[in-house]
Every structure is written in C-alpha cells, then in structure tokens.
Structure 1
Amino acid sequence: MSHRKSTERMRKVGPYGVETLPQVLSASIDAPGAPAACRGGARTERARLHWHRGDGGDPAALAEEFLAAHGLPLDDLSRPTPAHPHAATGVCGAALYLSAAAGALLAGAPTGAPEPAPTLPDLAVVVYEHGRTPTTRPTPPGPWRLGAWTESWTPQQHAAAVDAVRAAIGRGDVYQTNLVGHAAAPYTGDPLPALARLGALPGARYGGVLTGDGWAIGCASPETLVEVTDGHLITRPIKGTRPATAAGRAELLTSAKERAEHIMIVDLERNDLARVARTGTVTVDDLFTVRRWCDLWQAESTVRAAAANGLGLADLLRATCPGGSVTGAPKHAALTQINALEPVGRGASMGALGWVAPGRVDLGLTIRTAAADGHHLHTWAGGGITWDSDPAAEVAEAAAKVTPIRATLAGR
C-alpha cells in the first residue's frame, strides 16, 4: 500500500466524537505544547489521522504527508518560521503523537510485546484551525472512582530484569538499557478531568491531553524530545533522579553513577541530532543541570544544533524516536533487550507528544504520562540501568516517579 493510499484510508475529517470517553469542554484540555493562541476555544479541529502498526506504511512519512495535505508543510525545517503561518489557510498547527512502538519501528527494532491498551493508536495527528464554534456543556459526569492498580510485573520480576541488563552489560551487549514497568486500574466516571490534572503538576513542561474515540492520553512530561524553531534543533535529555530534598540534591550532584549514566545518554542524543544537523553545529549546554519535577530532583542537559538544509519532519522523527533517555545505548541493542525483558508494550509512554506548525516542532517525551481506554487507566515508569545499578534502588526509583501520577489521577 502506498503512503498516499494509506493516508487517505485512515483520514478522519472534522470534529471527532468521543463516545466512551465524553469530551469535557474546558480550556485546560489541550494538547501539550500548543501555543496560547491555539488553546481552548480559540481553535477547532479540521482533520485527523490515526495509524496503528498493523496498518502498514511508514508513520513518519504518513505524518509529514498528512500535515502537508492540510496546509502544514514541514518538508524543510531549516527555514525561518513564516510571520503569519495561518494567514492563508486558517490552520494554526497540529497535535502530534507517536508511540514508543512506532519509534522502535522507525529505528528498525523489534516491537513484539503485547500492548496493554490496544485501542490507542501508534500515530495520531490532529490539525486545528482558528475560530470558535458554539458549544454546549455536557451533562456533568458522575462520581469519579479509581480502583486498585495491578502491576504488569512484580518487584521481584523487575529486579530480575535489572540483573539481566547488568549481565548483558557485562557481556558487552549494551552499555545502558532503560526498563519500564506498567500498571492498570479500573475506573468509573469521566477520566478526562483526572488526566487534565496531570498537566498542572509542578515541572510539567508538556502538560496536556489528547483524546480520540475510546482513548485519551494525559501528559505531565518535563522532558523535551526535540524542539525546532527557525532551523535550530534542541533536545533536553533527563537522566538521574533523587528526592527533592537538600540531601537528595547533593546526592544527585555527587553521584558518579548518575553522572556517568547521564553523560552516556547525552552522547547518544548528540549523535542522534548529528544525523540531521549541519556538520559541526552540535553543542551541549547546561550539562547535568538539576531541576525539580514534583517531589523529585532530575538532572537535565541541553543539546543544540542547526538543522541540515531540507530537513523534513519525517527524517527528524526517524533520527530522534524513540528518545535515547528511555531506550539506552547503543539504541538498537537496548531496544532489542527491552522487547525481550518487558512483559507488555509501552503504550502511550516513552513516545512523543506535542505541537507542530510551519517551521516549528515542539515534542515532549511521554514520560510521566497516563492513558485511558474505555475501562482502565494505564501508567508506566522506569529508569536507566547501568553496571552499577542496584535492583532494589531501581524498583524504588520507578515507584517514586509514578507515585505523584497515581495520586493526581485519584484526585489527591
């Protein structure tokens, strides 16, 4: 099937109804990264594309072609942003979501683990235009109740997977692998307000919600997967976590293990950007800067470069997805190990979610992310494993990352 035929078959034009997950018409329900001028009632949906791995084709090419067909050409990100990008078409931009599995597919890595929430697409593109439409608020939803969480693996199984990664490092198969666990909880009521609360968590640079027919994704990510503005590329890998206390900050800053793990991923991200950058322009700023997310300190660096002439969205996605901080190094070997060790797929987590517009891309890495299908909420959390990793500490770190997410979803 050609890319064009695949795009036409999966295109959904016009406002998209949500049946099992009723829409909450609130200005706070917006895609992560959307500019203020394109949030809330200031924009309406024009067209939508959903894609699953079983549909065939190249998701990166499909996304670029679909956007171009709806007034958002992103075939040359090295050019400056137009002064008034929506003046001719009325289109202000689009929300873009790409799953971790789709990213692994782009990287040529295996993606065989079963998905815990198969109703979620692996690619979603939603094009918006400026303008207001009359809306009526739906009947207020019933009481919200979130049931008990069921983990996809036990702490013992998680710890055993950490030991398996350490053994692989000892053999020289990988240098670092990121392991992620999943959990699901049943709910009653409307999950959208719960998912929208995630975006208000402290440090949520990519806070927002994206919805579809029978699914929704809520994001509280602090991490930039890739940002492009006027031909300038930026990625901000996060690696290294401690409790947000004075002692935790000091421990993070002085940890040789965390710094080595972080620098390894920064080097991987430098290489990823170099694939799509002008030669000699890749630089690293603010190496190992400690920033706060909720009750955690995290180490972040900034990698910059100038986009190569003619760089399009599809090649950008192929170079950067999935993000190195949630895979490991070397990336392909780490993805192969992830597929063998994690019992279920990563679903909405560890992928990309954000906003694209003419000359502008701003995608967050979907860490600190939850998703809803018609019956369950889903969360994911994990961390990078190196030779010096302690299995019990890695299990505890994953729990610390997901605790604020689950508390927020429950309404606490």
Structure 2
Amino acid sequence: MVYRKSTERLMVNGPDGVGTLPGLAVDVPGAPADCRRTLVERARWQWRRADGGDPAALAEEFLAAHGLPLHDLARPAPAHDPARSCGAALYVSAAAGASLIGAPVGAANPAPALPEVAVVVYGHGPAAPPVPASPGGRWWRGDWAQSWTPRQHADAVTAVRAAIGRGDVYQVNVVGHAAAPYTGDPMPALGRLAALPGARYGGTLAGEGWAIGCASPETLVELAGGRLITRPIKGTRPATAAGRAELLASAKERAEHVMIVDLERNDLARVARTGSVRVDELFAVRRWCDLWQAESTVSAAPADGLGLADLLRAVCPGGSVTGAPKLAALGLVAALEPVGRGASMGALGWVAPGRIDLGLTIRTAAVDADRVHVWAGGGITWGSDPDAEVAEAAAKAAPVRAALTNS
C-alpha cells in the first residue's frame, strides 16, 4: 500500500502515541513561524465517534496533561519556554463540531481512516534539515467521481429554498464531495494545495493512513492580544474588476453575509465578557486564488474562566458553513448531503496558552490509503439560483483540484 509506506517515513509508534521522526519541519497551519523547523512531536491523541465521551473536554484535558493548560483563556499566558511544550496542532471535523452542540452529524465520513478530532503536541528539538526526497513514488491522481450530480446538487438548493419559504431556516450551507484514486506520495500534492495564494491557513497534518491539506482563507477563531476573533467569509465572485464591483453591489450577497456576521456575533457573545463583542470590519473584499470573497471581522474579550472546550462548543461548526439558525440548518444538511463532510468545514490550526489560531477547513483536501477527497459548497438563501450555486461550488473547488494534478 503506497500511502502507508510514505507515512512510515513520517511517523513512528511510541508509548505516547505516534511521534514525528526528528528532522522533519512541521507544516501545521498557525504554527509559530520562528519555531517550525525546531518542532518535534511529543504526544498525540485522536478521537472517533465510537470512542464516546466529550471530545472537547477530553482534548482540553489531554493538552493540560502535556503542559498546555487552556482552562482559562482570559488569563495572561506565561512567557514561552523552549524547554517545555511549544503548542499543539488541533483538528476538529465538522461532524465532531455538530456532536458538541447536539446536532445531527450527517452522513458517514467518506474517508473513515480520518479521526474526527486530533491533537498533536509539539516540543522543541534540533533544527530540521531540508526534507529529503520521498521514497513513496511519483504522485498520480485518477479521475474525479462526484458524490452527487449537478442536478442533484441543484435539487438540494431547491429543497433549502423550500425550507426557507416555510420559515424553517434563513440560510443553509450546502456542500458537495468528490473523490479520486491515487498512487504515490500525497504530501507534495497537499503541499502545493497549502501554498495556494490567499491561504491564510495553508498547511498539512498527517497521521497513520491519513493526511489533510488546507488552503483556507477563513479564520474560525483566533485568540490574540487578549481578544477572540472570527473572520466569517460569505459572498464570492470571479477575481476581475467586474466581479469585484458586482460583489460589492449585490444586495443578496450582502444580506447573506450580514446574516452570518450576526450569527458569529451571537456565538462569540456566549463565551465573551458582557458588552465586549464588536464588529471591527464589515464586508471587506479580499482575494483567494481567482476569486473575490467578502470577509468581516468580529471580536470579543473572553469571559473569565473560559476554557478551550467551551470555546469549541460555541464556535463549532462555523456559522458560515452551517447556516442560520445553526441547529436547524445542520438538521437540513444531514438530511440533504449524501456524503459526510469529512475533513472539510471543520477546524485546523494551532493552540497554546495565550495563542489560538484555528482556520475553518474550507478549500481543504484529505487522503486515505488510496483516494483523495475534496469538498466545496456555498450558502443558500431565498434569493439563490440553483444552477448558479452549483457553478459557484465548482469555481471554489477548481483551484484545489488543480493543485492535486499529477506530478
């Protein structure tokens, strides 16, 4: 099995889980730039639904047990000590996020080798030399197979519009999936994906039999300067002068965007100091690859005693990839999407005392032993045109697929 041979170069089993061999640079989104070439994996914990328990609480406990207490995010962090744990990669799937708030988790993950939650703790070691050429073989990717046809996707959009008409929901994000067979080492291809222009959360994370590549531009939640920050993205047009003007002028896109900004304000307010929530920037247009996207910035001061587990329950899954109201939207998602969201529409990034930086895993791919998986979708409102929504999802997926072409 080619992928497992490649993984063995990266991973070695040990008493604390699976540890990265020394000498390999860490490419986790959000990892401190000054530390990346000296990070060495110290411990790992993974969770799947069959394991039971509360994954958010278990992740917080695991981090504390390995020198990364995140029980009170409002407390000033101690000075960084290179002799102790530096921080940790944190991955939370959309299904895990739904389970945290008691929402339906939807269809099965199309890549069952992926955990639903992964925490990887890193300490410091010798500076890593350049990564040698992989013995895993040249990357080859076959044809994509869609989880649904364009017509089925359009019918799902129509079903959401009908639910909006009944007053069940105001907006729902609908996501499609595609998979392709592959051979060879997937990591260079995932690295190309992570390097796409506009990828604020460009990076990779790998485990036994799985890997994730992320090129997300969207902040799910960040803790910086004593404030919690989220940057929801809603509204997409081609990255042309005409596309930018059209996005700025679109009443439909602005209404959809403001609806999600309001949802994110409410999410942060649940874990914020009273009166501290504010919208710092509204409907700024920024570029990701060949698309313009509208982004806002919402921030708040964390409430005293707020821990990582409660923060994850407040913000996962991200409002821009669920809809409003969130629980009702997730119920419709579970009923309509034929394939689980897997590594997409979740969270991936870095956590440490005094510093959290988690990206929303849009523009994300995952690999298992023999297939590569991608997801893309968009927010549906009463004003959505089904065929236009299908085309928008294809436009978002195109750069991701292009990065995964044969090498």
Map 1:3-42 onto structure 2 (within 5 A).
Answer: 13=16, 15-16=18-19, 27=25, 30-40=27-37, 42=38
Partner residue of 1:178? Answer: 173
Partner-residue secondary structure (3-state), 1:259: helix
How much identity, in percent, do the aligned residues show? 75
Offset of residue 25 of structure 1: 6.5
Q: CA–CA distance in 2 between the matches of 1:295 and 1:12?
A: 46
Partner-residue secondary structure (3-state), 1:105: helix
Map 1:269-308 onto structure 2 (within 5 A).
Answer: 269-308=264-303
Offset of residue 80 of structure 1: 1.9
Map 1:48-197 onto structure 2 (within 5 A).
Answer: 48-84=44-80, 86-87=81-82, 90-132=84-126, 137=132, 140-197=135-192
Partner-residue secondary structure (3-state), 1:309: coil
Q: CA–CA distance in 2 between the matches of 1:111 and 1:144?
A: 33
Q: CA–CA distance in 1 between the matches of 2:173 and 2:404?
A: 25
Offset of residue 26 of structure 1: 5.3
1:395 matched to 2:398: no
Q: Which runs of 5+ in 1 are unaligned?
A: 1-10, 18-22
Offset of residue 198 of structure 1: 1.4
Q: Structure 1, residues 7-35: CA drift from partner, whole Å, max 9, x if none?
A: xxxx9626537xxxxx99754x5111101
Q: CA–CA distance in 2 between the matches of 1:290 and 1:282?
A: 22
State the AA in 1 paired with 2:119: V
Q: Which runs of 5+ in 2 are unaligned?
A: 1-13
Partner-residue secondary structure (3-state), 1:37: coil
Partner-residue secondary structure (3-state), 1:91: coil
Offset of residue 296 of structure 1: 0.2
Equivalent residues of 2:24, 2:128 under 8 A apart: no
Map 1:257-276 onto structure 2 (within 5 A).
Answer: 257-276=252-271
State the AA in 1 paired with 2:41: E
How many residue pairs match? The answer is: 393
State the AA in 2 paired with 1:211: A
* TM-score normalised by the chain length of structure 2: 0.93
Q: CA–CA distance in 2 between the matches of 1:354 and 1:381?
A: 20
Offset of residue 114 of structure 1: 1.5
Q: Do the aligned partners of residues 114 and 404 (structure 1) sit closer, same or farther apart at CA in structure 2, a change above 3 Å counting? A: same
Partner-residue secondary structure (3-state), 2:19: coil
State the AA in 2 paired with 1:227: E
Q: CA–CA distance in 1 between the matches of 2:79 and 2:201?
A: 25
1:362 matched to 2:390: no
Q: Do the aligned partners of residues 128 and 170 (structure 1) sit closer, same or farther apart at CA in structure 2, a change above 3 Å counting? A: same
Offset of residue 107 of structure 1: 1.4
Equivalent residues of 2:22, 2:128 under 8 A apart: no
Q: CA–CA distance in 2 between the matches of 1:240 and 1:72?
A: 37
Partner-residue secondary structure (3-state), 2:271: coil
Partner-residue secondary structure (3-state), 2:404: helix
Match of 1:228 among 201, 223, 229: 223
Q: CA–CA distance in 1 between the matches of 2:330 and 2:230?
A: 20
Offset of residue 82 of structure 1: 1.8
Q: CA–CA distance in 1 between the matches of 2:66 and 2:247?
A: 46
* TM-score normalised by the chain length of structure 1: 0.92
Partner-residue secondary structure (3-state), 1:272: helix
